[in-house]
Amino acid sequence: NFSYFAFFSLLSIFFFSIMSEPEAVDPADAAYEKQLMSLLNYLHSKVPNKTRKVSGRSALYFKGDKMVETLLASPYYSEDENPPATAFITNKEQAIQTCQELLERGFFLRGVYRDVPMFSKEKNKKIMKRTLFPEEEVFDFVNESVSFIWTYEPTSMWAWVGGGALLLGVLLFAISPIWPDGFRFLTEYGFNACLFLVGALLGLYVVRLVLFLAILFCTLGRYYVWLFPRLNDERAGVIESFKPFYSIAHRDDKDPPKKKSKSSKKSKSEGQAASGDGTAGAGASAGSGAGHGRTNGASRGRRGCACGRGSCCWSYCRSSGGLLGSGGACAGASAGAGAGG
């Protein structure tokens, strides 16, 4: 009963739309409107357009002087005394006036550039980026290198084909009670197959989420396991969405190395400079004390070295390439002292 009601309702709407009387329109205005829309489709396809992000979405924009140049080179412009039927623009001022009319009708908007702060992943900081914005309250067309943003999108052939197919599908569904048995049988199985695919996809989403949470909980957040990790990737196709089968990511428990501040680096460099000065002073004292090392036994350190540097003598000897000589004297220091003498 519902199918019959829907079918006759659509049929009655169709007949009423055909039988209704259209509003009275001046033939001259109707011809001008037709020429203007034809010109608009021509300009949309022939003007050098560029794509740019405008208010978060991709949009086509062009320059005002390029539109005027395209219009003057089109079949809609002619300076002859007997112009063809398609040419209704005869001079440059009229071409600019036609572009102004298209702007006032809202087929495109004037754009303005503004500097907007944005975060740059490459530089890891905020930068000022020049962004194009539409000016909805400015209706001045200029024959200059000024950006204009298209708001008009011509209806493509595929849109008409899709609309016709949708209307045909609704009509076929409305007359389903009078379908042949074989066609009805195939439609029922096709409908059930579509429902099964949708249910399987929803079940896959649930299973992969439960598996991810279970592994994440059992490993205390160390492993991230996803089935079909590209399932939600908008850039992947139907087959690519199911490749690879799974992905495993591991989170290292070790903390990343902390960055040292400038003050700590400065104090460390000062400490190294102070230790260098102390080593140089100790080398000088070792060179002077090496001459008296054999006679002055009281000046020997804990390791029996005559340098008088105590426990630091061994590290000094290793750093300077010297060895403990006979009598506990530092061979490196003795060599230094001998060379100095």
Please classify residue 299 by burial: count the beta carbons closer than 10 Å to its beta carbon, then call 0-12 exposed, 13-18 middle and 19+ buried: middle
Residue 59 pairs with which residues in a beta bridge?
52
pLDDT of residue 98: 92
The tokens for 298 are 């009281």
The tokens for 70 are 């395209």
Residues 290/333, Cβ–Cβ less than 8 Å: yes
Residues 322/332, Cβ–Cβ less than 8 Å: yes
- Closest residue by Cα to residue 337 from 320, 318, 319: 320
The Cα 206–Cα 127 span in angstroms is 41
pLDDT of residue 23: 57
Strands (E), 86-141: 108-120, 125-135
Residue 330 DSSP code: B
pLDDT of residue 67: 93
Strands (E), 10-104: 50-54, 57-63
Strand bridging mode 147-150 / 246-250: unpaired
Question: Rounded to whole angstroms, what are the CA distances from 7 to 11, 14, 180?
Answer: 6, 11, 17
The low-confidence residues of the chain, meaning pLDDT below 50, are 253-266, 273-306, 309-312, 314-316, 318-341
The tokens for 128 are 């000022």
pTM for the model stands at 0.48
Helix (H) or strand (E) holding 92: helix 92-104
Residues 319/307, Cβ–Cβ less than 8 Å: no
Q: What is the pLDDT of residues 102-129, one digit of tens each?
A: 999 999 998 888 887 877 777 777 888 8
The tokens for 69 are 């140049």
Q: What is the pLDDT of residues 56-95, one digit of tens each?
A: 778 899 999 999 999 999 999 988 878 788 888 888 999 9
Question: Rounded to whole angstroms, what are the CA distances from 88 to 47, 93, 187?
Answer: 19, 13, 54
- Closest residue by Cα to residue 147 from 36, 47, 57: 47
Residues 203/43, Cβ–Cβ less than 8 Å: no
